[in-house]
Amino acid sequence: MMKVAEQLLKPLLIGSAFALAGCAASVPPVEVTRFHLNQQITPGTIAIDTSAPGVKSLEFTNYTNAVNAELQRLGFTPAAIGASDYIATVGVMRDTRQALAQRSPVSVGVGGGTGSYGGGVGVGVGFSFGGKPKDVVVYELHVQIKRRAAGDVIWEGRAQTEAKENAPAAQPGIAAGKLAAALFKDFPGRSGETISVP
Q: How far apart, in whole angstroms, are the C-alpha atoms of residue 85 and residue 149?
A: 7
pLDDT for residue 168: 80
92 Cβ neighbours under 8 A, 6+ residues apart = 59, 60, 63, 139, 140, 141, 142
Helix residue ranges per DSSP H, 27-171: 58-73, 97-101
Residue 124 pLDDT grade (very low, low, confident, very high; cuts 50, 70, 90): very low
The answer on pLDDT for 178 being more than 90 is: yes
Sequence length of the chain is 198
pLDDT for residue 134: 67
- Kindly list the strands in the beta sheet with 45-49, ordered across the sheet, starting from the edge strand earlier in the chain: 77-78, 45-49, 86-96, 136-147, 153-164, 30-36, 194-197
pLDDT for residue 16: 41
Task: Please name every residue paired with 153 in a beta bridge, in sequence order, or none if there are none.
Answer: 146
Which pTM value belongs to this model? 0.71
Q: How far apart, in whole angstroms, are the C-alpha atoms of residue 69 and residue 113?
A: 29
pLDDT, greater one: 124 or 145: 145
The answer on pLDDT for 22 being more than 70 is: no
